[in-house]
Chain A
Amino acid sequence: EAGVAQSPRYKIIEKRQSVAFWCNPISGHATLYWYQQILGQGPKLLIQFQNNGVVDDSQLPKDRFSAERLKGVDSTLKIQPAKLEDSAVYLCASSLGRQTQETQYFGPGTRLLVL
């Protein structure tokens, strides 16, 4: 089966510009996650969706980050305006459901550089 798809793979922008990332989860997976991975650190959850509803966005900097999953499938993560510290890899993951034991499967990530 196809894995989690993300685009673009790389993005370079200047600070204060806006950027958007797209994710298509594994077919049939109801739960979708966006993680931020800063160089030298493990990924940190930004937001979790169950179908098209938000389950956890407690770590999302809502003054500049937004995310949506309107039809319960694809998702978009946006940053506006970007700051230098937003330079990171943005990983999308999906799982069949929300059960604690379920495996999260990750996409290849989008590497963002903010100059």
Chain B
Amino acid sequence: AQSVAQPEDQVNVAEGNPLTVKCTYSVSGNPYLFWYVQYPNRGLQFLLKYITGDNLVKGSYGFEAEFNKSQTSFHLKKPSALVSDSALYFCAVRVYNQGGKLIFGQGTELSVKP
């Protein structure tokens, strides 16, 4: 079965420090990987995706993610965190030619303190 794991329920970072939100996946087939962010009482907002090509993907608001096929990971990163980055982050996967649904991880709460 296809699955996504976000091993940390919460990540705490000081403003200005780099941040990493971890994601690993388990799929049979070629994965297409996505990151979404959810602010309180709002829907999911698309950040970035990996389809093919360069393993380092750049997205919105200064976020980037690195696809690592051997480690089956797709960690989200940002060089310098802002207090406004505090939110719930979801990693998701779709598998090529296996339907349209996104399979989500359970989410990671990011807290950035001033």
A interface residues (Cβ-Cβ under 8 A, vs B): 4, 6, 31, 33, 35, 40-45, 48, 55-56, 91, 93, 95, 98, 100-101, 103-109, 111
Judged by a CB distance under 8 angstroms, whether B55 is at the interface is no
Whether the pair A45, B101 counts as a contact (CB closer than 8 A) is: yes
Asked if A56 and B101 sit within 8 Å, CB to CB, the answer is yes
Cα–Cα, bound, A78→B46 (Å): 27
Which residues of A have CB within 8 Å of B22? none
B residues near A, CB below 8 A?
4, 32, 34, 36, 41-46, 49, 51, 90, 92, 94-102, 104-107
Cβ contacts under 8 Å, B51 to chain A: 101
Nearest CB in chain A: distance from B8 CB, A? 14
Q: How far is the CB of A18 from chain B (nearest CB, A)?
A: 24
Q: Are B32 and A101 in contact (CB under 8 A)?
A: yes
Q: What is the bound-complex CA distance between A111 and B55, given in angstroms?
A: 36
Chain B residues whose C-beta falls within 8 Å of the C-beta of A98 in the assembled complex: 100
CB contact under 8 A between A106 and B94, given known A31-B100, A41-B106, A101-B51:
no
Q: A100 touching B102 by the CB < 8 A rule?
A: no
Query: Beyond A91-B43, A105-B46, is A100–B104 a contact (Cβ under 8 Å)?
Result: no
User: Are the CB atoms of A106 and B99 closer together than 8 Å?
Assistant: no
Are the CB atoms of B100 and A106 closer together than 8 Å?
no
Cα-based distance from A109 to B44 in the complex (angstroms): 9
